[in-house]
């Protein structure tokens, strides 16, 4: 996280001030765009929901019952305590295997793919996974609303996995921030 912030700062403040700086991508580091992969059937959630938690709620995260997780201190976000952080909760009868599988990945961020309309989990430079196809305008609007809330929260968001909506424990919980490199 700190390394990405350092790189972002150098890309916006240090390099442009250098004499020979050029605003072009180096073709040797451009990665080909690879389509998102379909999740294996055993890892599909039965339902999902978009939710929000205020930044201050993450101070209690060490007390939550979570099987698999990854997060960083809320102070790193530079957000006010009442800023709503958007998230996606995946409900699955196979919550623990799904959370274990996700824990083995380098979860980066969630994003809306407009064509074809999908909710995608980015997990690396060449890996991404379709969490949900979005065939209706209503579903696409819901994901666009999530993206707008994510942008308002400095790209901070989360993914959680639970057995059902009545569960008080998380099989998995990941707090993420999508970093946009210039």
The set of residues, in sequence order, having a beta carbon less than 8 Å from that of 46 and lying 6+ positions away, is 91, 92, 93
**Contact in structure between 60 and 86 (CB atoms under 8 Å):** no
**Cα(14)–Cα(75) distance, integer angstroms:** 25
Residue among 47, 130, 158, 50 at smallest CA distance from 92:
47
pLDDT digits (tens, 9 = 90+) for 23-73: 765 555 555 567 888 887 777 888 999 999 999 999 888 899 999 998 877
pLDDT digits (tens, 9 = 90+) for 116-125: 999 999 997 7
pTM, full prediction: 0.80
The pLDDT-based confidence of 180 (bands split at 50, 70, 90) is: confident
Per the listing, tokens 């993914």 go with 159
User: Which of 82, 102, 83 has its CA nearest to residue 92?
Assistant: 102
pLDDT in tens, 73-127: 777 778 899 999 999 999 999 999 999 999 998 899 999 999 899 999 999 777 8
Q: List the one residue out of 117, 121, 123, 124 whose CA is nearest residue 144.
A: 117
Query: From the CB of residue 77, how many other CB atoms can be counted at a distance below 10 Å?
Result: 18
Q: Are 68 and 172 in contact (CB under 8 A)?
A: yes
The DSSP secondary-structure symbol of 40 reads P
Dihedral sign, Cα of residue 10, residue 74, residue 66, residue 39: negative
Alpha carbons within 13 A on the beta-carbon side of 33: 2
Confidence (pLDDT) at 26: 57
Give the pLDDT confidence score for residue 33 in this predicted structure: 67
Can you read off the two tokens belonging to residue 5? Answer: 């912030």
DSSP one-letter code for 36: P
Q: How far apart are CA 120 and CA 6, in angstroms?
A: 26
């Amino acid at each position: 996280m700190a390394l990405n912030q350092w790189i972002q700062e150098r890309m916006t403040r240090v390099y442009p001030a250098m004499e020979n700086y050029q605003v072009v991508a180096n073709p040797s580091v451009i990665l080909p765009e690879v389509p998102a992969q379909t999740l294996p059937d055993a890892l599909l959630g039965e339902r999902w929901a978009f939710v929000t938690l205020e930044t201050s709620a993450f101070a209690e995260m060490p007390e939550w019952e979570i099987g698999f997780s990854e997060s960083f201190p809320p102070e790193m976000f530079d957000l006010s305590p009442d800023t709503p952080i958007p998230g996606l909760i995946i409900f699955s009868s196979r919550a623990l295997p799904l959370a274990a599988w996700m824990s083995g990945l380098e979860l980066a961020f969630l994003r809306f793919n407009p064509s074809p309309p999908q909710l995608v989990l980015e997990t690396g430079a060449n890996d991404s996974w379709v969490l949900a196809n979005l065939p209706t305008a209503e579903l696409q609007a819901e994901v666009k609303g999530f993206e707008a809330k994510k942008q308002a929260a400095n790209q901070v968001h989360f993914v959680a996995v639970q057995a059902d909506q009545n569960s008080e424990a998380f099989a998995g919980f990941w707090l993420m921030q999508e970093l946009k490199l210039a």
